[in-house]
Amino acid sequence: MNKIALVTGASRGLGRNTALHIAKKGGDVVITYQSREQDAQAVVDQIRAMGRQALALRLDVGDVDGFPLFVEHLRAALKQTWGRDSFDHLVNNAGHGDAALIEDTTHAQFDRLVDVHFKGVFFLTQALLPLLADGGRIVNLSSGLTRMSYPGFSAYAAVKGAVEVLSVYMAKELGGRGIAVNTVAPGAIETDFLGGAVRDTPDLHGEFRTSTALGRVGMPDDIGPMIAALLGEDHRWINAQRIEVSGGYLI
Ligand code: NDP
């Protein structure tokens, strides 16, 4: 039986790349998107063209009130497409970037970061636990910014830090069901994140490149295959770890 992964925020960026590499390794994938339905459908089409099953569901991870309906949609989709009432791997990836100095950060910016990156990860995982198979895996996306500080990312990095702590607690509480939980913390990667800042701002790009031991900025292909591999059987004993994937940023 093929494993089924649920990857949130996989219409583009790191989630898209992860979903494609999970499929490349023989897994089936449910992806979610927030607004870009067509992009999500294109990812589904690409996965199906590889001979794997895939489908896309809409989800705002910052809206906990929407989770019960999402779970119902997921339950129905799993039954209809796979004849199953469970899935195997959860990748909590979806999220946005927002940068402001502490003195300029508004309550609205702060609340949205907390809602999407922390409260959303906490309660989406809670809502999905009845559907997550025993022996399954969870990967939560954090950021290199929890290890090093960069002005403007205090709220963002703090909620990612919360996710890292949460991941260890998830590993402890879910271990009895054979579920391993890890955090993947990417360095700066060229995606649409933060308006494509890493990719499109020459100064920033140069700074990240020269601060990275391997001498370049990260690409989605540096992350997706790693997460897909982490979900594989060979890595079953990795649990409760924060794994930074940054090419050696600021070491
Ligand atoms: P992108 O902006 O390229 O993609 C974000 C994805 O998340 C899209 O699929 C988007 O959906 C979805 N999304 C955004 N907000 C929400 C929401 N509230 N609810 C549901 N889905 C949402 O970002 P990345 O791929 O770069 O980032 C993915 C993850 O990696 C994030 O958690 C980010 O914090 C983390 N990260 C990124 C780094 C980077 O340098 N790129 C570095 C370290 C961590 P739609 O397309 O429909 O809008």
Give the type of residue at 245: V
pLDDT over threshold 80, residue 67: yes
| CA triple 222-227-230, angle to 5 deg | 125
Question: Rounded to whole angstroms, how far apart are CA atoms 54 and 44?
Answer: 5
Tell me the backbone φ, ψ of residue 239, rounded to 5 degrees.
-150, 140
Closest approach atom of ligand 1 to CA 144:
43
pLDDT over threshold 90, residue 1: no
Question: Rounded to whole angstroms, how far apart are CA atoms 7 and 67?
Answer: 15
193 Cβ contact partners less than 8 Å away, ≥ 6 residues apart: 13, 96, 97
DSSP string computed for 95-147: -------GGG--HHHHHHHHIIIIIHHHHHHHHHTTTEEEEEEEEEE--GGGT
Q: Which of 57, 93, 193 maximizes ligand 1 atoms within 8 Å of its Cβ, making it the mutation to test the pocket?
A: 193
Cβ-contact 54, 47 below 8 angstroms:
yes
Q: Considering the chain, what percentage of its residues have pLDDT values greater than 90?
A: 99
Average model confidence (pLDDT) for the chain? 98
pLDDT over threshold 80, residue 96: yes
Q: Considering the chain, what percentage of its residues have pLDDT values greater than 70?
A: 100
Residue 26 Cα to ligand 1 middle (Å): 24
Handedness of CA 166, 234, 40, 192 (dihedral sign): positive
Please give the sequence-ordered ranges of beta strands (E in DSSP) within 121-218, or none if there are none.
132-141, 180-186
Question: Rounded to whole angstroms, how far apart are CA atoms 184 and 217?
Answer: 17
With both helix axes pointing from N to C terminus, report the angle between 107-114 and 154-174 in degrees, rounded to the nearest 10. Answer: 20
Question: Rounded to whole angstroms, how far apart are CA atoms 220 and 191?
Answer: 7
Task: Convert the pLDDT of each residue in 225-246 to its tens digit.
Answer: 999 999 999 999 999 999 999 9
Q: Give mean pLDDT, residues 205-233.
A: 97
Q: Which of 6, 7, 12, 58 maximizes ligand 1 atoms within 8 Å of its Cβ, making it the mutation to test the pocket?
A: 12
Q: Give mean pLDDT, residues 112-132.
A: 98
pTM here is: 0.99
Q: Give mean pLDDT, residues 130-149.
A: 98
Closest approach atom of ligand 1 to CA 117:
32
Structure confidence at residue 170 (pLDDT): 99
Residues whose beta carbon lies within 6 Å of some atom of ligand 1: 9-15, 33-36, 39, 59-62, 93-96, 116, 141, 143, 186, 188-189, 191-193, 198
Structure confidence at residue 43 (pLDDT): 99
Active site residue 156: yes
pLDDT over threshold 80, residue 178: yes
Residue 17 Cα to ligand 1 middle (Å): 12
Residue 19 Cα to ligand 1 middle (Å): 13
Q: Give mean pLDDT, residues 159-182.
A: 98
Specify the range with the lowest mean pLDDT, choosing from 50-59, 104-113, 152-161, 199-208: 199-208
Task: Please list the residues that pair with 180 across neighbouring strands.
Answer: 137
Structure confidence at residue 138 (pLDDT): 99
pLDDT over threshold 80, residue 81: yes
How sure is the predictor about 14, in pLDDT bands with cuts at 50, 70 and 90? very high
Q: Give mean pLDDT, residues 141-145.
A: 98
Structure confidence at residue 240 (pLDDT): 98
Closest approach atom of ligand 1 to CA 188:
40
